[in-house]
Amino acid sequence: MCGIVGYVGKQDAIPLLIDGLKRLEYRGYDSAGVAVLDSAGLSLRKAVGRLSALEDILHLTPLGGRPGIGHTRWATHGPPTEANAHPHTDDSGRLAVVHNGIIENYKELREELEKKGHRFSSQTDTEVIPHLIAQELKDGAPDTLTALRNALSRARGAYAVGVLSADEPNTVFAARHGSPLIVGIGSGEYYIASDVPAILSRIREVIYLNDGEIAALRTDGVNVYTLAGQRVQPEIHAVTLQAEAAERAGFETYMLKEIHEQPRVLRNLIEKHSDLSDEFELSANYFRKLNRIMIVACGTAYHAGMYGRLLLEHFTGLAVETDLASEFRYRDPKIDPGTLLIPVSQSGETADTLAGIRMARNWGCKVLSICNVPGSSVVRESDAVLFTEAGPEIGVASTKAYTAQQMAFALLALHIARARGTLNESEIAQCLTDLRKVPDAIHLVISRKETIRAIAGKHHDGPSSLYLGRKFNYPTALEGALKNKEISYQHAEGYAAGEMKHGPIALINEYLPVVCICTQTRDEVYDKMISNMKEVEARHGRIIAVATEGDTLVKEIAGDIIYVPAIRDEFSPIVNVVALQLLAYYAAQARGTDIDKPRNLAKSVTVE
């Protein structure tokens, strides 16, 4: 939510800031702005709307200078207007601030500052920061760094900030508390950014700032301090990601590229973990003694968590619960140190998921996270991490991160099942053999994208659609519906097929597309799904079925059918969801939406 970038070095900052912001636009895109130091002191440009609007303005009224900071906004306080766009300045116009997060006590700070004569020009919470820094300087702070430290000590809430001062040439200040911010080290130049991929091609090393740390980036190096002013020796990590990982590689969108990456991502993940050795940093003995698992997540990751629950219950016999992190944090769950908390998060920065981790730690639980981003807050606050290793996911609607989360749960469930003895070695070996078939099966589904595109073309124009699934594929129905509404804006509802007759059946008529996931072959759920489809058929609903290759029974009932290869029931959701990702994708394409940056959404939700 909101993207920040900053540059200190010998080059003109503007093109570098714009390039970084382009890669951060997935974090928010309702306005954007940049500030640089130039011969006039501090100069800014801002624009409402996508980054391209800012580029147009820079074209008409060019700006050059260094160092610089930039921002792309996802509005929280105040609508997307030019006045509310970042960077924000103090009255003198000599200080500029970009911010990601929320300053919760901004009202009282603003009132206090207004009484002291500060004039505010936006409705944002952010604007208190430059005014606070200016006030600290007026009150005798010897330099900007001290003034920033003092100012931030008064702010409550979450922030990642970048600060530029006309009185501190060649310097960018950065600070974080609860919102992500990294410092990138290039050759003779330094960057700040909300994530590594934004500046990947320009840096060789990275510092993941910790909460409560402030960095001063100067042309001759980076110094890191605590809020109290103590110097800290930051850990410097080599950047291992390849720059191409964050490019579109010839695909029309990042989302389509990421859909195509799934077979490779999953193959690598299986190979990395298939010996199921004790690599999750928690001992077999710990898993044996465990009495309960609590999974918390948001959005797509929550659906992966629902699937994870089904697998863990099925293979390990443990009591498992999944909850939305935003609900979990306000419940009084009966959790004790015998419970393992599994947060699931692509970004590793989702505010509610982080809150869940902190609660569980207070109760003495161990935390094993499933996460995609090294160095993220979720990773740093967990006892153990199972990385999904999907690489940067830039399309706002999650695809490869989701199937990697599902795969991570499958591997984890087998690992725990072995530790607890709920599956024997030959059962585990069979499961692994079956899991290894998943990437090729996904590849085959992707190769049928033209069939899926044609089906989407027939059904995208209605106001609504229904997605039905059962057991392992109930979460698939929810995720398929979520994908559709996120990117095509067609209202879509995922439902447990057995619940259909308790409500949604009233919606069914000849106009309603009903996507039915009916790939189970070995258990009772298949027959039940067929009955549910019959109920839809009897009411003239338009059935789009996802079915196993060669299934002629489903073909008789469904108007349209997407065949997927036969896969063991437990793992079929990892394949089936890819058909639904593509269905949503082509519906969105037919409806002409901005697929990588759907309206109102942001990829990393760092506010409650």
Residues acting as catalytic residues: 2, 603
- Cα–Cα distance measured from residue 599 to residue 582, given in angstroms and rounded to the nearest whole number: 19
Q: At what angle do helices 128-138 and 144-153 cross, to 10 degrees?
A: 120
At its nearest, how many Å lie between ligand G6P and the CB of residue 56?
27
Alpha-carbon distances, residue 450 vs 147, 368, 445, 453, 547 (angstroms)? 59, 40, 10, 5, 17
CB nearest ligand G6P: which residue?
Answer: 299
User: Are 134 and 90 a contacting pair, CB within 8 Å?
Assistant: yes
User: Are 45 and 100 a contacting pair, CB within 8 Å?
Assistant: no
Nearer to ligand G6P, 350 or 572 (CB): 350
- Cα–Cα distance measured from residue 420 to residue 418, given in angstroms and rounded to the nearest whole number: 5
The label of the residue with tokens 């509610």 reads 352
Amino acid at the residue 432: L
Tokens at 132, concatenated? 């606070």
Tokens at 197, concatenated? 């991929």
Sheet with strand 491-496: strands edge to edge: 491-496, 464-469, 513-518, 542-548, 560-564
Tokens at 352, concatenated? 């509610």
Residues in Cβ contact with 516 at an 8 Å cutoff, skipping those fewer than 6 apart: 468, 469, 497, 529, 532, 533, 536, 543, 544, 545, 546, 558
At its nearest, how many Å lie between ligand G6P and the CB of residue 350?
3
Nearer to ligand G6P, 130 or 305 (CB): 305
User: Are 66 and 10 a contacting pair, CB within 8 Å?
Assistant: yes
Nearer to ligand G6P, 35 or 193 (CB): 193
At its nearest, how many Å lie between ligand G6P and the CB of residue 258?
11
At its nearest, how many Å lie between ligand G6P and the CB of residue 482?
8
Helix (H, G, I), strand (E, B) or coil at 40: coil
At its nearest, how many Å lie between ligand G6P and the CB of residue 489?
14
At its nearest, how many Å lie between ligand G6P and the CB of residue 574?
16
Helix (H, G, I), strand (E, B) or coil at 472: helix
Nearer to ligand G6P, 89 or 350 (CB): 350
Nearer to ligand G6P, 214 or 373 (CB): 373
Nearer to ligand G6P, 168 or 479 (CB): 479
- Cα–Cα distance measured from residue 40 to residue 51, given in angstroms and rounded to the nearest whole number: 24
At its nearest, how many Å lie between ligand G6P and the CB of residue 180?
11
With CA atoms as reference, report the closest residue to 72 among 193, 177, 238, 245.
193
Nearer to ligand G6P, 31 or 300 (CB): 300
Nearer to ligand G6P, 176 or 418 (CB): 176
- Cα–Cα distance measured from residue 522 to residue 255, given in angstroms and rounded to the nearest whole number: 33
The residues binding ligand G6P (CB under 6 A) are 298-301, 345-347, 350, 353, 396, 398, 601, 603-605
At its nearest, how many Å lie between ligand G6P and the CB of residue 604?
6
With CA atoms as reference, report the closest residue to 368 among 425, 330, 419.
419
Nearer to ligand G6P, 76 or 122 (CB): 76
The label of the residue with tokens 């301090």 reads 225
- Pinpoint the alpha helices (H) of 448-514: 449-459, 474-488
CB-facing half-sphere around the CA of 259: CA atoms within 13 A: 29
At its nearest, how many Å lie between ligand G6P and the CB of residue 560?
27
With CA atoms as reference, report the closest residue to 400 among 309, 300, 487.
300
User: Are 376 and 197 a contacting pair, CB within 8 Å?
Assistant: no
- Cα–Cα distance measured from residue 356 to residue 351, given in angstroms and rounded to the nearest whole number: 9
DSSP 8-state secondary structure symbol assigned to residue 178:
B
